[in-house]
Amino acid sequence: MAKGNLSPRQRMINLMYLVFIAMLAMNVDRKVLDSFSEINTTLEKSVELTSALNKGLYTDLEAKAGLYPGVMPKAQAIKASSDELYTFLDDLKASASSGLKLRDDKTYDPSSMDSSYDMGRILFDGDKLTPKGEELLQKIEAHKQVLLANANEASKARIEEIFSTLALDKNKGWVTEKFYDQPLIASLTKLTKMQLDVRNEEANIINSLTNKNLKSALVLNEYSVMVDGPKVILRGERADAAVTIGAYDKTLSGQANFGGKTASLVSGRASYTLPTGSVGRKSIDVVVNYTDKNGQTFSKKTTYSYEVVEKSKSDAVLAPTTSPTNANNNVAIKPREVTAASVQADKMLIVYRGVSNPLTAAMGGVDPSSIRMTPSTGSLSSAGGNRYNYVAGGGESVTFTVTGRSIATGKPVSGQVTYRIKNIPPPRATIRGESEPRISKASLGLNTIEAEIPDFGFPVNIQVTSFSVKVPGLATVMVSGNRLDARAMSAVSKARPGSSISIGNIKAVLVGGGVTLNKIPPVVVDLKD
Looking at residue 280, its amino acid is G
| CA separation for the pair 257, 312 (Å, rounded) | 33
Beta carbons of 37 and 183 less than 8 angstroms apart:
no
CA atoms of 255 and 288, how far apart (whole Å): 6
**Per-residue confidence (pLDDT) for residue 30, from 0 to 100:** 62
232-234: strand order across its sheet: 232-234, 297-309, 280-291, 253-258, 261-264
**What would the DSSP string read from start to end of 252-286?**
-EEEEEETTEEEE-BTTEEEEEPP-SS-EEEEEEE
State the DSSP H helix or E strand holding residue 244, giving kind and residue range, or none if neither.
strand 240-245
Give which of 406, 18, 12, 429 is closest to 207, Cα–Cα. Answer: 429
* Three-class secondary structure assignment of 290-334: EECCCCCEEEEEEEEEEEEECCCCCCEEEEECCCCCCCCCCEEEE
First to last CA, the chain: 56
Report which DSSP code applies to 448: B
User: pLDDT in tens for each of the 529 residues of the chain?
Assistant: 555 566 676 667 666 666 555 544 444 456 666 676 777 778 888 888 888 888 888 888 787 776 677 788 888 999 999 999 999 999 988 888 776 666 655 555 555 555 555 677 888 888 889 999 899 999 999 999 999 999 888 889 999 999 998 888 777 888 888 888 777 778 888 888 899 999 999 988 888 887 755 444 434 444 555 666 665 555 666 667 666 555 555 556 788 887 788 888 776 677 778 777 776 777 888 888 877 655 678 788 888 777 665 543 333 322 232 333 333 322 222 233 334 444 555 667 889 888 889 998 888 778 888 888 999 998 999 998 889 999 988 889 999 988 888 887 778 888 888 899 988 888 888 998 887 888 888 888 888 999 888 888 888 888 999 999 999 888 999 999 999 999 999 899 888 888 888 998 999 988 877 778 878 889 888 888 7
Q: Do you find a cis peptide bond into 248, omega within 30 degrees of 0?
A: yes
Distance from the Cα of residue 54 to its chain's centroid: 13
Cα 182 to chain center, whole Å?
Answer: 44
Nearest to 116 by CA among 31, 198, 188: 188
**Cα–Cα distance list, 23 to 185, 411, 469 (Å):** 21, 105, 44
The packing angle between helices 131-150 and 153-162, to 10°, is 170
- Residue 7 φ then ψ, to 5°: -75, 155
- pLDDT at residue number 232: 57
CATH of the domain spanning 225-342, picked from 3.90.1300.10, 3.30.700.30, 2.60.40.10, 3.30.530.20: 2.60.40.10
- Which residue, 157, 219, 225, is CA-closest to 428? 219
Among 91, 81, 285, which Cα is nearest to 198's? 81
Question: What is the chain's alpha carbon radius of gyration, rounded to the nearest angstrom?
Answer: 36
Cα–Cα dist 268/243, whole Å: 9
* Contacting residues for 240 by C-beta, under 8 A, at least 6 apart: 229, 271, 272, 273, 274
For residue 5, the SS3 value is coil
Task: Kindly state the DSSP code that residue 156 receives in the 8-state scheme.
Answer: H
Which amino acid is located at 459 in the chain?
P
- Kindly report the number of other CB atoms within 10 A of residue 40's CB atom: 22
How far apart CA 443 and CA 432 sit, in angstroms, is 10
Q: Which distant-in-sequence residues (6+ apart) come within 8 Å of 337 by Cβ?
A: 234
Residue of 185, 191, 189, 271 whose CA lies nearest to 227: 271
